[in-house]
Amino acid sequence: MARLEWIPALAVGNAEIDEEHKTLFALINKLDDLRMSEMGRRELRDVADELAKYVHVHFTHEESLFTAKGYPGAAGHIEEHRAFIGKVAEFHARIIGGDPKIAGEMANYLRTWLSRHIAMSDRKYRPWLADQAKGN
């Protein structure tokens, strides 16, 4: 599976959000590395825990920008986040439950979903965010 790599074309116009996206990419790559190296279940669980928590941190941050400034696309975007959180929780529970083989499937799903979400949905708020910064 190809590694996730953040490229400037994925920038949303907010340096902190971009850094969070990079951290998420790094965590997903780590999950995939652990699967490949067949390292201990404990470490795999730690990365899955960290990912589940960090997804919350990042989504909460994005959503707080939407609600603070009234992003018109907020409802649909938040719905996408909710669906993803449900899926992450499902994978996470299976890893905790001792199904390490699921790590590959989890890394694959996260990778596809997140790259698509950033490229399509997160990038969509970029012009709105830029307008906010100008005080419009």
- Residues in contact with Fe ion by CB under 5 A are 62, 122
Nearer to Fe ion, 40 or 73 (CB): 73
Smallest separation, CB 26 to Fe ion (Å): 14
List, as one string, the DSSP characters of 66-98.
Answer: HHHHT-TTHHHHHHHHHHHHHHHHHHHHHHHTT
Of 127, 123, 129, 131, nearest in space to 11 by CA:
123
Sign of CA dihedral 81, 83, 89, 91: negative
Smallest separation, CB 121 to Fe ion (Å): 5
- Closest chain position to Fe ion (CB): 122
Nearer to Fe ion, 35 or 77 (CB): 77
**Distance from C-alpha of 104 to C-alpha of 110, rounded to nearest angstrom:** 10
Nearer to Fe ion, 27 or 44 (CB): 27
Nearer to Fe ion, 41 or 124 (CB): 124
Smallest separation, CB 97 to Fe ion (Å): 28
Smallest separation, CB 82 to Fe ion (Å): 11
Compute the C-alpha angle 108/109/110, nearest 5°.
Answer: 95
